[in-house]
Amino acid sequence: MPPGGSVTAEPYCCDLDEMYPKLQKLSPALANRSGAILLQDNAKAHTAKITRQKLTQLGIEVLSHPTYSPDHSPTDYHFLQAFDSYLRQKKIADLTDVENDSLAFINSRDPGLFSKSLDLLPLHWQRCVDADDMLWRWLGLICVCLTVFQSIAQEEPEGIDDEGGDAEAIYNKTYTEHQTALEKALFGSYVNTRRPVRNSSNAIDVNIHFHIVHVSINQEEQTMTVHGHLYMTWIDEFLGWDVNEYNGIRITRCSKWRVWQPKITVANSVGGIFSAFEISSHAHVLVQSLGKEQAKVEMYPTFSIKVGCNLDFSGFPSDQHSCELLVFAKQRMSEVRLKNYYDMPPTLSIGWGSQSDKRMISDFEIFNVSNHISYYKQGEMTTDIPVTPNEKAVSWTVLHTTIEFRRRSVMFGVCMLLPCLISAAFNILPFFLPSLNYSVYTLLSNVVIQAIFLQELVYGMPLSASEVPRSVLFYSVTMLCNMFSLMLHILLVVNDHQSSFILRPVLQATGSFIAVRMPYPAKTPIVALRVALGLLTTLLYIVMIFALLIF
């Protein structure tokens, strides 16, 4: 066959005319018996009316067998099976390679290989008969029934003659030919710039569904990038066809540019000049017939949309956020109305297989995805549906897709919170040490530790926030308490070494006042003062932990 051609009844009959004289020359005994026996599958070209007439004319008997099955065809015995295994090891680039490999396979086979295998067939048949005589009887009865049914079907080939026209041409027409004819009938006079409604006063309802496959959040830029597929469907009143006229074809495909489509635009895109490419212009379209008058059109282009968000990190590291993706049709509501597909929320498929429940993206967990419809008119967004024709003429439908996510910083407790608590402990401990010098050294070391971890805390935290996060506030108060403790202990050291220190009377009087009210006697007023300040600092830390970190 020439490239792109298909085997029909006419060329198959020509092949039979060429084959049978050659068979008479090569095997006259086989051809001159009561008739040669032909084993073939049930392809349309083999069972067509003119093919059966040609076989009867040549006196060739067709061996009947059950309905054709692609993986158990009787003609696959030996030759085609070995040929298939041979071709699996080859790399074929064009038709010439196919011809060369086919000839090479035939020349490489032993001429007696297939004759010996065919001679063994009666032995295998006898083994089947000997295995179970009753089973063979049932199989024989089934074969007889199948033969009768097949002969009845061949006498009237599936009622094609009742549809009118050339029955043989319709029967031998391939699926590709039906598709080509359907495509010519649909798009021959179709205008893709015309709204597909016969009554121009009616609006088209476009149902939209977002299938999200990835979300990327940029905390510094305050943006969110969403990737996925945008499913759209609507009714086209100029693309219907009768499925009976095209061999039962109900669904066909075409390119996106061949049909009318709504002009979907992202309202809050930050892509600038690249926003025109956020929704792919290359997408295939499915057209499903709903009768002669209309068809259902389905389109699912991919998208990568970047939108701006208002992210507030005041609750760091327990902050929650929501960001919206807004799309609308450029056509007014009197022409196109966007709707949420069956009121379904957007689907989220970030992972596959065992990770199908994945919701983590970087430091954030997506915990909810929803959408709703609003209406833009007179410069404002509203949920009130326009009713009158005048309102619809100046309104647009907007589909809001809201993604809600929260931070899941599991390392914050170990990397940030634990150093804060250790620093607080080092701030309280010096008040209870007997040596003032050791207390000063401890507090100085704590200052260095706090400076190091403060740098890590600031580096790992978002820069934009309407107010200082509570975790940072707790760390700042810890540093202030440490500096206050260090200054106090320096004053106590000076007071201990200089009897003429100006604050000595104040420190002594305060210590004596506290020592009198303590439940146990203190060695000196300064010791009583340090113990009281240590207890006060401990109480202050407990209050801050509950106020800033827990609640």
Say how far residue 355 (Cα) sits from the centre of its chain: 12
Contact criterion met (CB below 8 Å) for 324 and 402? yes
> What distance in Å separates the CA atoms of residue 423 and residue 421, rounded to the nearest whole number?
5
CA 412, 416, 421, 427: dihedral to nearest 10 degrees? -170
Whole domain around residue 528: which residue ranges?
A: 412-550
Domain shared by 137 and 190, yes or no = no
Domain shared by 163 and 214, yes or no = no
Structure tokens at 317: 């590291």
SS3 of residue 369 by DSSP: strand
Domain membership of residue 113 (yes or no) is: no
pLDDT, tens only, 197-240: 999 899 999 999 999 999 999 988 999 999 999 999 999 999 99
> What distance in Å separates the CA atoms of residue 404 and residue 368, rounded to the nearest whole number?
5
> What distance in Å separates the CA atoms of residue 364 and residue 48, rounded to the nearest whole number?
65
Q: What share of the chain in percent tops pLDDT 90?
A: 32
Q: Report the candidate in 53, 70, 62 with the shortest Cα–Cα distance to residue 35.
A: 62
Q: Does the pLDDT of residue 426 top 70, yes or no?
A: yes
pLDDT, tens only, 150-186: 554 454 444 434 444 555 565 556 778 888 899 999 9
Q: What is the pLDDT of residue 275?
A: 82
How many C-beta neighbours within 10 Å does residue 459 have? 7
Residue 290: which CATH number?
A: 2.70.170.10
> What distance in Å separates the CA atoms of residue 341 and residue 359, rounded to the nearest whole number?
23
Domain membership of residue 214 (yes or no) is: yes
Domain shared by 369 and 343, yes or no = yes
Confidence of residue 381 (pLDDT cuts 50, 70, 90): very high
What is the chain's length?
551
> What distance in Å separates the CA atoms of residue 232 and residue 39, rounded to the nearest whole number?
50
Q: Does the pLDDT of residue 13 top 50, yes or no?
A: yes
Structure tokens at 193: 């710039």
The arithmetic mean of pLDDT across residues 341-358, rounded, is: 90
Domain shared by 334 and 448, yes or no = no
φ/ψ of residue 217, rounded to 5: -120, 125
Q: Identify any residues that bridge with 360 across adjacent strands, giving them in sequence order.
A: 365
Domain shared by 298 and 402, yes or no = yes
Confidence of residue 70 (pLDDT cuts 50, 70, 90): very low
Domains of the chain: total:
3
Min mean pLDDT across 55-64, 164-173, 405-414 is at 164-173
Q: Report the candidate in 401, 342, 409 with the shortest Cα–Cα distance to residue 368.
A: 401
Domain shared by 440 and 538, yes or no = yes
> What distance in Å separates the CA atoms of residue 327 and residue 266, rounded to the nearest whole number?
4
Q: Which of 150, 171, 192 is the last residue of a domain?
A: 171
Q: Identify any residues that bridge with 406 across adjacent strands, giving them in sequence order.
A: 320, 365
Domain membership of residue 144 (yes or no) is: yes
- DSSP 8-state secondary structure symbol assigned to residue 466: S
Structure tokens at 341: 């597909």
Domain membership of residue 91 (yes or no) is: no
Say how far residue 216 (Cα) sits from the centre of its chain: 15
Rg of the chain over Cα atoms, rounded to whole angstroms, equals 43
Contact criterion met (CB below 8 Å) for 454 and 420? no
Q: Which of 407, 430, 455 is the last residue of a domain?
A: 407
Environment class of residue 84 by beta-carbon count within 10 Å: exposed (0-12), middle (13-18) or buried (19+)? Answer: exposed
Min mean pLDDT across 67-81, 102-116, 196-210, 313-327 is at 67-81
Q: Which residues contact 491 (CB under 8 A, 6 or more apart)?
A: 503, 507
Domain membership of residue 315 (yes or no) is: yes
Domain shared by 188 and 131, yes or no = no
Q: Does the pLDDT of residue 78 top 50, yes or no?
A: yes
Environment class of residue 237 by beta-carbon count within 10 Å: exposed (0-12), middle (13-18) or buried (19+)? Answer: middle
> What average pLDDT does the chain have?
81
Q: What is the pLDDT of residue 158?
A: 42
Structure tokens at 404: 């809600």
The arithmetic mean of pLDDT across residues 92-103, rounded, is: 75
Show the CA angle centred on residue 45, arms to residues 43 and 48, nearest 5°: 105
Domain shared by 132 and 251, yes or no = no
Contact criterion met (CB below 8 Å) for 495 and 503? yes
User: Which residue has 């000595």 as its token pair?
Assistant: 504
At 490, the amino acid letter reads I
Domain shared by 354 and 243, yes or no = yes
Domain shared by 195 and 321, yes or no = yes
Domain shared by 394 and 471, yes or no = no
Min mean pLDDT across 107-121, 143-157, 489-503 is at 143-157
Q: Does the pLDDT of residue 69 top 50, yes or no?
A: no
Cα–Cα distance list, 248 to 47, 126, 179, 411 (Å): 21, 45, 11, 61
Domain membership of residue 297 (yes or no) is: yes
The arithmetic mean of pLDDT across residues 461-483, rounded, is: 77
Domain membership of residue 88 (yes or no) is: no
Tell me how far apart the terminal alpha carbons of the chain are, to the nearest angstrom: 81
Domain shared by 245 and 393, yes or no = yes
At 309, the amino acid letter reads C
At 167, the amino acid letter reads A
Helix (H), strand (E) at residue 151:
helix 133-155
Q: Report the candidate in 252, 232, 47, 234 with the shortest Cα–Cα distance to residue 156.
A: 47
Contact criterion met (CB below 8 Å) for 340 and 207? yes
Structure tokens at 273: 């000049």
The arithmetic mean of pLDDT across residues 379-401, rounded, is: 94
Q: Identify any residues that bridge with 226 across adjacent strands, giving them in sequence order.
A: 215, 305
- DSSP 8-state secondary structure symbol assigned to residue 353: G
SS3 of residue 261 by DSSP: coil
pLDDT, tens only, 235-262: 999 999 999 888 889 999 998 999 999 9
| Max CA pair span of the chain | 141
